[in-house]
């Protein structure tokens, strides 16, 4: 009788454990590599690496050999766009409008599921938040897969972040910020000769343009991760912007690789040389040129580019 109960118990327990058939973990790594090599674009490969630890290890393994093979098969360019950070546009704002950036995957994606994975892994929900849990970060600039963000209320107020690795580094406020309004902040490659070329959280520069309402002067300052402090790039401490008695509104007009521009009052342009952190004011434009700058709509999507091959670190299991 006891033997019968034990046999029934064994049969009952055997029904509780279903047989594993077609488990994804049973697929050899070599087969996964062949599958990943057939992905249509680098953006899809980044999303695959964000899916789970095993896939990330397969893609990041072999000392970067897999990434190089993928690049040679697909003719990957030095930089590729993974997606865009979409921001809330604010017309008439004196600095680049970039409030509350949200990542939007590239339209070349073929899978809504892949889009959701990329959006989740490149979201900025790991950044510090305000007193009431609000975000309030402004996207100031993007360079080399890194984001420069500004917050008008939080201290220190500026930070650089790597959304792919969900890491950030706070940039200390300069004493020159006191009593000034931020016109714009721009991200540049670092100058540390001992570090790898390009830009990273340990090797970068930031150039800011500031405006003081009290004396209506503008000034520029620069931060370098190599020195860890702020310096003034201009020979003089400030640049007069509004010489007349009436305050002339300042509007951000646009930016190039080397310079940024603001319109001031009647046909006057304020220009910032990013690399030297120098401001120049008093450039008078013709009516047609000034109208083009004044009426220019600001971009609401900022391309997020990563260098190729991307640096994907294997996860320790």
Q: Which long-range contacts (CB under 8 A, 24 or more apart) does 44-51 make?
A: 44/109, 44/110, 44/114, 45/70, 45/310, 46/82, 46/118, 46/164, 46/306, 46/310, 46/312, 47/105, 47/109, 47/114, 47/117, 47/118, 47/121, 48/114, 49/312, 50/117, 50/118, 50/120, 50/121, 51/117
Alpha carbons 108 and 115: distance in angstroms, whole number: 10
Model pLDDT, residue 19: 45
Joined tokens for residue 99:
């409030």
60 and 144 co-located in one domain: no
Contacts of residue 111, defined as CB under 8 A and 6 or more positions apart, other chains included, come to: none
58 and 110 co-located in one domain: no
| C-beta neighbour count of 102 within 10 angstroms | 15
Model pLDDT, residue 17: 47
67 and 110 co-located in one domain: no
87 and 187 co-located in one domain: yes
Model pLDDT, residue 28: 86
Residue 267 resides in a domain: no
Joined tokens for residue 225:
């991760």
Collapsed DSSP state (helix, strand, coil) of residue 186: strand
Report the run of H or E that residue 261 belongs to, with start and end. strand 259-264
| Cis upstream peptide for 23 (omega within 30°) | no
67 and 87 co-located in one domain: no
Q: What is the tens place of the pLDDT at every residue in 73-114?
A: 776 665 667 788 999 877 667 788 788 898 887 765 444 545
Model pLDDT, residue 110: 46
Tell me the pTM.
0.70
Joined tokens for residue 94:
């004196």
Residue 281 resides in a domain: no
Q: Which residues span the domain enclosing 47?
A: 28-74
93 and 50 co-located in one domain: no
Model pLDDT, residue 164: 81
Model pLDDT, residue 150: 93
**Which stretches of the chain drop beneath a pLDDT of 70?**
1-24, 62-64, 75-80, 91-92, 107-120, 131-133, 192-197, 233-238, 240, 242-247, 266-267, 282-298, 307-311, 316-317
Report the run of H or E that residue 133 belongs to, with start and end. none
158 and 205 co-located in one domain: yes
101 and 163 co-located in one domain: yes
87 and 70 co-located in one domain: no
209 and 125 co-located in one domain: yes
From 43, 74, 105, the end of a domain falls on: 74
């Amino acid at each position: 009788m006891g033997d019968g109960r034990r046999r029934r118990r064994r049969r009952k327990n055997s029904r509780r454990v279903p047989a594993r058939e077609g488990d994804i973990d049973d697929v050899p790594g070599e087969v996964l590599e062949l599958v990943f090599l057939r992905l249509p674009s680098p953006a899809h490969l980044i999303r695959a690496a964000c899916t789970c630890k095993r896939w990330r290890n397969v893609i990041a393994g072999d000392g970067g050999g897999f990434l190089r093979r993928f690049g040679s098969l697909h003719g990957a360019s030095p930089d590729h766009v993974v997606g865009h950070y979409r921001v809330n546009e604010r017309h008439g704002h004196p600095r680049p409008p970039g409030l509350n950036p949200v990542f939007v995957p590239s339209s070349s994606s073929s899978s809504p599921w892949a889009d959701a994975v990329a959006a989740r892994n490149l979201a900025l929900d790991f950044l510090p938040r305000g007193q009431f849990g609000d975000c309030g970060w402004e996207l100031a600039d993007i360079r080399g897969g890194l984001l420069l963000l500004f917050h008008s209320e939080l201290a220190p107020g500026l930070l650089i972040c790597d959304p792919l690795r969900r890491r950030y580094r706070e940039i200390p406020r300069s004493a020159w910020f006191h009593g000034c309004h931020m016109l714009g902040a721009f991200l540049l490659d670092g100058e540390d000769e001992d570090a790898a070329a390009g830009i990273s959280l340990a090797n970068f520069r930031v150039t800011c343009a500031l405006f003081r309402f009290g004396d209506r002067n503008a000034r520029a300052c620069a931060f370098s991760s190599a020195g860890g402090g702020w310096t003034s790039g201009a020979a003089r401490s400030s640049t007069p912007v509004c010489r007349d008695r009436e305050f002339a509104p300042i509007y951000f007009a646009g930016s190039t690789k080397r310079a940024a521009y603001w319109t001031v009052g009647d046909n006057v342009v304020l220009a910032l040389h990013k690399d030297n952190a120098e401001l120049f004011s008093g450039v008078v434009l013709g009516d047609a040129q000034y109208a083009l700058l004044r009426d220019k709509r600001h971009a609401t999507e900022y391309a997020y580019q990563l260098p190729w091959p991307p640096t994907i670190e294997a996860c320790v299991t």
